[in-house]
Structure 1
Amino acid sequence: MLREDNGRKKMQGLWNLKDNKTFWEYAGIALGTLVYTISLNYFLLPTRLGEGGVVGLTTMFYYTLGIPLYLTNFILNGILIVVGYRFLGKKTVIRSLWAIVCLTVFLKFPVIAVYHTDQTVIPTMVSGVLTGISMGIILRCGGTIAGSTILAKIANRYLGVQTGSATLFFDLGVAAPMVFIIGFQNTLLTILQLYIAAVLTNQFLARVGAKKAIFIISDSHESIAASLSNELHQGITVFKGRGFYSGKEQTMLYLVCTSPQLTKVVPIVESVDAKALIVVEHVRSVRGLQMHQLL
């Protein structure tokens, strides 16, 4: 009986792991690195395009010396992880290590079929789209692929620069010198690919799983706050203010929610007060206590 109980507990532990947020974050990072590997092996390298960051350096070694990408990627990113540990914290570094391991493994997979075309702008755009999506997934799950993404996350955390834009800035510093290896035309295509990837990374982070900050001004603020609190199961901050033009005292409600929750907020507010003022803003990052504790 004791062995059966222990067996059940182990099975329950494995089952609970599937429902664990951390499990899905690690799975998401693995998926993101797989998509990024497809972008590299099937579109970027066959077109002889460059890249930014550490991956850009690995492509340099690959084009000039024939050194496999997985080898230089693992060594160079391992060095940058040490730098990232000081600035990004243990959680991000562990997830970044997981991303590097996944990327190293996926890069060793044999390439089954390569897309060939004389229209080099097509694989350029496809690579940019896949890279942007993959970076968005990895960053949304709390990881990085090291390289320029670590520097970008540091810039985002301490300077407030959008992660995709900061990544593009650091990537261009590596991509520009590649003109002497891949030629002027392919360097321009590389810059186009990096730009597409940066734009899509920003859009992905802004829309998928991103937080929204909501300001609500209404005379029925008590009823609105009660309805939202019961529906969203989180706290709401109340501010006292005064209209400059009217001189009237106003009460403002403030809360942070996800995009799916936002679809519930607006109808709830309008059902209580159709004339309520609702202001919604994108939130680049939320740190500190959990939202229901903080607000």
Structure 2
Amino acid sequence: MSGTSRSELGKGPQFRLDFYYSTWWNLLLITVGTLIVTIAIKGIAVPHGFIPAGVFGLAALIYYMTDWLSPGWLNFLFNAPLFIFAWFKVSRRFFLYSLYSIASTTVFYEMIPVTIPVQNELYAAIASGVITGFGAGLVLRSLGSNGGLDVVAVYLYQRYNIGIGRIYLMFNALLFSFSLYRLSPDLVIASLIMAFITSVLVEQTLSLFNQRKVVFIVSNKADEISDDILYQLRQSATFLKGFGAYSRQERNVLMTVVNNLQLKKLEEITFNHDENALFIVENTFSVIGSSFSRRKIY
């Protein structure tokens, strides 16, 4: 068994938490995410005349109708009142990260020449939705947002736990209803497909790296197993009191939370100690506190 002290075990998890909250990591997520979103919108959505999700979609619709400025600059202008809202209702840090996000989107849109040659309208809607949703989800994994509708969505999620993807769908339902007066039904339907896929990918990207496994281990060797979890997996565990219905004997039930990569090692540790152990695994997508995710405060 390693001679690592229990106090040293917490250094790794604490480093991870500080890492995820560091400024450069959040700026990296925002930069990469906004670049991906810009490529999808400028390279696929706008050439096909689609209405992207959120405030950028409103900017694109006005651009199609008036040819005034570009969708990138219109999006920047429409975000001004929402940034004021973010400053007062969310936080100044959230405001600054979101401002960087929308500025990056505008710069990328104006400076990067990109066209993705997808001819089929349905394929284009699917591809644009997947790429946009993934990029937007990356940005929302930071302590900022993509600006626009995300500002309101993050506020509602933080206060009322309303899913961010659902906010997109409600806003776009109104946006596309209005679009029917200006665009062909085929374009509106394709845009709806794109928006739906975007909202799904945003939710999936937000939960992608949060998936954990809750494991319950019923064994007479629970103490030995817990020691190996602490020193080999560098992970904590909790003893729960159990009482056997058949044996009428009290025993410890070991509960721990691991990621997908650690699960197989935990299984090996358990059955090396006790081949008759009961090993129960459940999926979970939200584990906050201790050595896992901090409560996300924007």
TM-score range, shorter chain: 0.7 to 0.9
Residues 1:293 and 1:123: Cα distance change in structure 2 (over 3 Å): closer
Question: Which residue of 2 is the match for residue 226 of structure 1?
Answer: 227
Partner of 1:69: 71
Alignment-derived partner of residue 283 in structure 2: 281
Distance 1:217 1:114, change over 3 A: closer
Letter of the aligned partner of 2:217 in structure 1?
A: I
Q: Which residues of 2 match residues 43-192 of structure 1 at below 5 A?
A: 43-66=44-67, 67-113=69-115, 115=117, 117=119, 119-192=120-193
Name whichever of 54-63 and 92-101 sits farther off.
Answer: 92-101
Contact 1:58 1:69 in 2 (8 A): yes
Q: Structure 1 residue 46: deviation in Å?
A: 0.8
Contact 2:53 2:198 in 1 (8 A): no
Match of 1:193 in 2: 194
* Maintained 8 Å contact 1:218/1:277: yes
Shift of 1:247: 6.6
Unaligned 5+ runs, structure 2: 1-17
Aligned AA (1:105): V
2:44/2:115 contact within 8 Å kept: no
Aligned counterparts of 2:247 and 2:83: Cα–Cα separation in 1: 55
Which range moved further: 79-88 or 244-253?
244-253
How large is the Cα RMSD of the aligned pairs?
A: 3.1
TM-score, length basis structure 2: 0.77
Instruction: Specify whether residues 278 and 36 from structure 1 end up closer, same or farther in structure 2 by C-alpha distance, changes over 3 A only.
Output: same
Residue identity matched to 1:109: M
The C-alpha deviation readout for 1:221-264, integer Å capped at 9, x for no partner, is: 32222211213334333333557798764534444444444454
2:240 aligned with 1:239, yes or no?
Answer: yes
- Greater helix share, 1 or 2? 1
User: Aligned with 1:232: secondary structure?
Assistant: coil
Return 5+ residue gaps in structure 1 as ranges: 1-18
State the match for 1:214 in structure 2: 214
Larger relative contact order, structure 1 or 2 (CA cutoff 8 Å, min sep 6): 2
Name 2:11's counterpart in structure 1.
Answer: none
Residue 269 of structure 1 deviates from its aligned partner by 3.3
Matched position secondary structure for 1:240: strand
- Residues 1-24 of structure 1: CA distance to partner in whole angstroms, max 9, x if unpaired? xxxxxxxxxxxxxxxxxx965323
Q: Is the 8 A contact 2:30 2:144 kept in 1?
A: yes
Distance 1:111 1:161, change over 3 A: same
Q: Secondary structure of the residue that 1:181 maps to in structure 2?
A: coil
Please say which of residues 211-220 and 188-197 is displaced more in the overlay. 211-220
CA contact (8 A) 2:39 2:114 kept: no
SS of residue matched to 1:180: coil
Deviation at 1:64, TM superposition (A): 1.5
Q: Between Structure 1 and Structure 2, how many residues are aligned?
A: 273
Matched residues in 2 for 1:179 and 1:222: separation? 65
Whether the 8 Å CA contact 2:156–2:162 is kept in 1: the answer is yes
Q: Structure 1 291/43 Cα, relative in aligned 2: closer, same or farther at 3 Å?
A: closer
Relative to structure 1, is the Cα distance of residues 293 and 102 closer, same or farther in structure 2, using a 3 angstrom cutoff?
A: closer
Superposed CA deviations along residues 68-95 of structure 1, whole A, max 9, x for unmatched, are 1222222222322332345544444333
Find the counterpart in structure 2 of residue 42 from structure 1.
Answer: 43
Q: One-letter code of the match for 2:214?
A: I
Asked if the contact 1:234/1:292 (under 8 Å) is kept, the reply is: no
Superposed CA offset, 1:34-66 (max 9, x none)? 110011111101111112221111112211122
Whole-angstrom CA distance in 1 between matches of 2:152 and 2:247: 47
